[in-house]
Chains A and B, each alone.
Chain A
Amino acid sequence: MSAESTVSLTTPKELERVPLVQNKRNFSWISDKVSYICESGTPLWWWLAFLPCSAIAVFGLICIGYQISNGVGVWGENHPAGWAWDITNFVFWIGIGHAGTLISAILFLTRQKWRTSINRAAEAMTIFAVICAGIFPGIHVGRVWMAWFLAPVPNANGIWPNFRSPLLWDVFAVSTYFTVSLLFWYTGLIPDLATLRDRAKSRVSKYLYGIFAIGWRGSNRQWRHYEMAYLILAGLSTPLVLSVHSVVSFDFATSILPGWHTTIFPPYFVAGAIFGGFAMVLTILFPARLLYPQLDDLITRQHVDKMAKIILLTGSIVGYAYLMELFIAYYSGNQYELFTFLSARIGIDNDGWYSWAYYVMMFCNVISPQIFWIKKMRENYLVVFTVCMFVNVGMWFERFVIIVTSLAQDFLPSSWGHYSPTWVEIWTFIGTFGIFLSLFLLFMRFLPMICMFEVKLVVPEADPHRHPVDKEAKH
């Protein structure tokens, strides 16, 4: 063998990385295109989207007011299904938030640079989803004016809340999650608000962006602490996000109800939360990308492909958890557990009142994302969007299946009871979508949707040690 062929055998051609920002854009291009969204006037489509969303939000709030003034009886919940849509919606929304924290914290710690162009929008989504989630535990207590019983203070009789209860852990977990997410989000916003401040033309926007940019001037003595703060917040958020849905799952897992009393719940819930959250990130980013085609170079095919892969991975974990639950129900030899899974959920002997929901869940969450094994499907936006819609539906049904099938048909057939939602419940849930989308539209309109300073950081010319050959960047 000649020396030449040996060399070609032992040193394979180096694969080129796909650039994160396409078309070699430079720094000011990034600031221009992202800031333009906030600086240009309100487009017509924005009003067309915002008005119906805010109307739905207001109607949802009216439903909440109706429920508070009339009592929780206006909902379909009754014995034995004392939890139904309320807690389903709570777990659904809180789960959606998890993708944002995963993108902003876990992908930051693992140095996944592609996160930079989607983390801001995903974190905003986290905050708005947690706001929607927080509504339900507050109002489902019935006597809302007693909601302060959730706080760790003694009541008038000197009785303290039960600190050993997972419901109280949940109060701590969710409020900490919301607060830390908000702090993390705002910390990340400061340098970009300074960009908007420095570009602002009108007095009002100069003043408002100026106030919230708190006088940021990009000094390295500030960046030094800022970067450390970002790292610490990411480090804190990582275990936090894993803990939040674990604690939510404890609400169920620490009870003795068949279908709830399982040790697989914490990892299963966390994987499901990330799964559903990524689907929601894509659900929101597709329209945003269509409406702002100038962002195509920042939110690229690569991002969609990677998120589709995460959906495939977490969807498969969720599928594994579903099957493992079934196996353990069989393996435990517990007849109640077996009944819940085989009869109430799968519907053997036609005993399952809600087994249709189980099949919706199975199809949407386990089968539909498997299409992402095929690269062509991950590249087809219509397919990705459709699967994401399936996942959104499936993840809501997962919580419905867990909560309602276990409660409606538990140990004694004599204490079984049907459950169906009333219009108030349905519209309260639709109303939270209105709140979520209205807040997101306001965010898109007034705040930089893409983290400009972090995207600038992944452009090759940001690297002070880079090779001088690729020095030219085009406008």
Chain B
Amino acid sequence: MADYRKVYGLGAEFASSADLLVAAEKVRDAGHTKWDVHTPFPVHGMDKAMGLGKSWLSAPVFIGGAVGLLTAVLLTCIPSFGLYPVIVHGKPYDWRTLPAFFPIMFELTVLLSAFTTVFAILIMNQLPKWYHPVFNWERFTRVTDDGFFIVIEARDPKFSESKTRELLESIGGKHVTLIHD
């Protein structure tokens, strides 16, 4: 029975991305912190409307790329200059042949950057996460089709079932629903 379950938050549906953007600004201005906006596609300007800064994904990717470059430098230089210099066609094999390793350095930089990008967003977005309370809300299946939602979590310090419901209704939210965990 629903009554025994913990309340996750309050959700509201909006008619369009334009309405959602205005509503998100109002939720932000009301001082909420633990809330989110759910849309079928990224809405332009929503980060600002939610008071979020630029994604800091580039930092881990830079580190990943640097590790890739370093791996390639070590992988090519240690065997070629140290462990077993291969002499082919009597061509030179000293430090001046370093440019011959640039393609491998480039490829490994790209490879590790790409892996870091994907794994970093999975970690930053806390995915995979196959269970989430918002999936308990029937209307929420439309989020991947044409639904625009705002969900304010119960752990938000400003959350109160009646006042938050009022806020969501006053900013144009439809089908305001209590979401259980």
Contacts and interface: CB of A to CB of B under 8 A. Distances in A.
A219 B38 contact: yes
Contacts of B125: 221-222, 225-226
B17 A223 contact: no
B121 interface: yes
A236 interface: yes
Interface in B93-133: 93, 97, 100-101, 103-104, 106-108, 110-111, 113-115, 117-118, 120-122, 124-125, 127-132
A194 to B, nearest CB: 5
A224 B43 CA distance: 10
A217 interface: yes
Interface stretch (A1-9, A48-56, A195-203, A397-405): A195-203
Contacts of B131: 215
B1 interface: no
Nearest to B101: A163
Nearest to B65: A236
Contact of B108 (A165, A172, A250, A465): A172
Q: Kindly state the interface size class of chain B when it binds its partner.
A: 35 or more
B75 interface: yes
B2 interface: no
Contacts of A233: 114, 117-118
B44 interface: yes
B110 A28 contact: no
A183 B115 contact: yes
Nearest to A172: B107
Given A31-B145, A463-B17, A464-B20, A220 B50 contact: yes
A163 B104 contact: yes
B58 interface: yes
B17 A215 contact: no
B38 A220 contact: yes
B63 interface: no
B92 to A, nearest CB: 10
Contact of B42 (A223, A239, A250): A223
29 contacts: A26-B146, A31-B145, A154-B84, A162-B86, A163-B75, A163-B80, A163-B100, A163-B104, A164-B91, A165-B88, A168-B104, A169-B103, A169-B104, A172-B103, A179-B111, A180-B110, A180-B111, A191-B41, A191-B144, A215-B130, A219-B36, A220-B46, A223-B41, A224-B42, A225-B55, A225-B125, A229-B57, A247-B103, A463-B17
Interface of B: 16-18, 20-21, 24, 36-47, 50, 52, 54-55, 57-58, 61, 75-76, 79-80, 83-84, 86, 88, 91, 93, 97, 100-101, 103-104, 106-108, 110-111, 113-115, 117-118, 120-122, 124-125, 127-132, 134-135, 140-146
Given A166-B103, A187-B118, A464-B45, 12 more contacts: A152-B75, A164-B93, A164-B97, A176-B110, A191-B41, A195-B40, A215-B128, A220-B36, A220-B42, A243-B106, A247-B103, A462-B17
Interface of A: 26-28, 31, 152, 154, 158-166, 168-169, 172-173, 176, 179-180, 183-184, 186-187, 191, 194-195, 197-199, 210-211, 214-229, 232-233, 236, 239-240, 243, 247, 250, 453-454, 456-457, 461-466, 468
